[in-house]
Amino acid sequence: MIKKLTAMLGIVMMFASVLTVVTATSASAGAPRLMHVGAAYSDGWVDFGDGTYQWVSTDCRNQLAGAGITAQQVPWNNAFANNTHNPRLTCGQVQQLLAGDPPPPAGNARLTHVGAAYTDGWVDYGDGTYQWVSTDCRNQLTRAGITAQQVQWNNAFPNNTHHPRLNCNQIQTLLRGTTPPPPPPPSPSGNGVPVYDTAWELPTYATWGEIDQYFDSVRNKGFTGVMISLLNHTQTSRLGYNTRIGGPAGYVDGSGNMVLNQRYLDAVSEVMNRANQRGLRIGLVAAWGIGYIHSATDQCGSGANNGPLKSWNANRLGRQIGNQFKNHPALEFMLLGGDNYCNYEDVNIWRNMASGLDAVGMNKPVGYHSPAGTRTTQERFAGEGWVDFLAPQTGHCQSAAQTQGDLNYLKKYGKPVFAAELRYQETRPGWGGCLHHAGNPVQRHHLEADARAAVAADVMGMAFGDWDRWNWCNGRLGTNSGGRVGGCTGNIMSTLAAPGGEAAVLAIANAG
* pLDDT (0 to 100) of residue 431: 62
Q: Is residue 185 part of a domain?
A: no
* Distance (Å, whole) CA 371 – CA 69: 50
What is the rounded distance in angstroms from the CA atom of residue 276 to the CA atom of residue 224? Answer: 11
Helix (H) or strand (E) holding 123: strand 121-124
If asked whether residues 470 and 340 sit together in one domain, one would say yes
DSSP characters for 293-341? TS-SS-SSSTTTT-SS--TTTHHHHHHHHHHHHTT-TTEEEEEE-----
43 is a domain residue? yes
Given this model, what pLDDT does residue 82 score?
A: 61
Say if residue 390 is in the same domain as residue 254.
yes
Range of the domain at 149: 110-175
pLDDT score, position 15: 25
Final residue before a domain boundary, out of 71, 99, 127: 99
Co-location of 235 and 159 in the same domain: no
DSSP 31-87: --EEEE-STT---EEEE-SSS-EEEE-HHHHHHHHHTT-EEEEEE--THHHHSB-SS
Q: How many angstroms separate the CA atoms of 239 and 256, rounded?
A: 13
Domain identity same for 212 and 171: no
Whole-number Å distance between alpha carbons of 69 and 34: 9
Q: Are 149 and 272 in a shared domain?
A: no
Q: Tell me: do 350 and 444 sit in the same domain.
A: yes
pLDDT of residue 225: 94
Let me know if 456 is exposed, middle or buried by CB neighbors in 10 A (0-12, 13-18, 19+).
middle
Same-domain check for residues 71 and 165: no
Are the C-beta atoms of residues 346 and 305 closer than 8 Å to each other?
yes
Is residue 12 assigned to a domain? no
Residues 435 and 351 in one domain: yes
> 460 to each of 195, 218, 389, 391, how far by Cα in Å?
10, 20, 9, 10
* 424 dihedral zone (left: phi>0; alpha: psi -120 to 50; beta): beta
- Say whether both 352 and 269 belong to one domain: yes
- Could you give the CA distance from residue 501 to residue 114 in angstroms, rounded to a whole number? 33
Q: What is the DSSP letter of 466?
A: B
| 81 and 131 within one domain | no
Q: Is residue 183 part of a domain?
A: no
> Is residue 459 domain-resident?
yes
Among residues 18, 7, 14, which one has the least CA distance to residue 81?
14
In a domain, 347, yes or no: yes
pLDDT value of residue 359: 94
In this prediction, residue 487 carries a pLDDT of 53
One domain, residues 89 and 117? no
Number of domains in the chain: 3
**Per-residue model confidence (pLDDT) at position 430:** 64
Please tell me the distance from the alpha carbon of residue 38 to that of residue 72, in angstroms, as a whole number. Answer: 9
Judge if 368 and 467 occupy the same domain. Answer: yes
Last residue of a domain, one of 145, 175, 205: 175
In a domain, 180, yes or no: no
How far does Cα 137 stand from its chain's mean position? 26
Task: Print the SS3 string covering 132-148.
Answer: EECHHHHHHHHHCCCCC
Supply the CATH number for residue 207's domain: 3.20.20.80
Q: Residues in the chain with pLDDT < 70?
A: 1-30, 36-37, 40, 71, 76-88, 100-107, 160, 163-164, 177-191, 235-237, 295-299, 301-303, 341, 343-344, 430-433, 436-438, 474-491, 498-500, 512
Question: Is residue 119 domain-resident?
Answer: yes
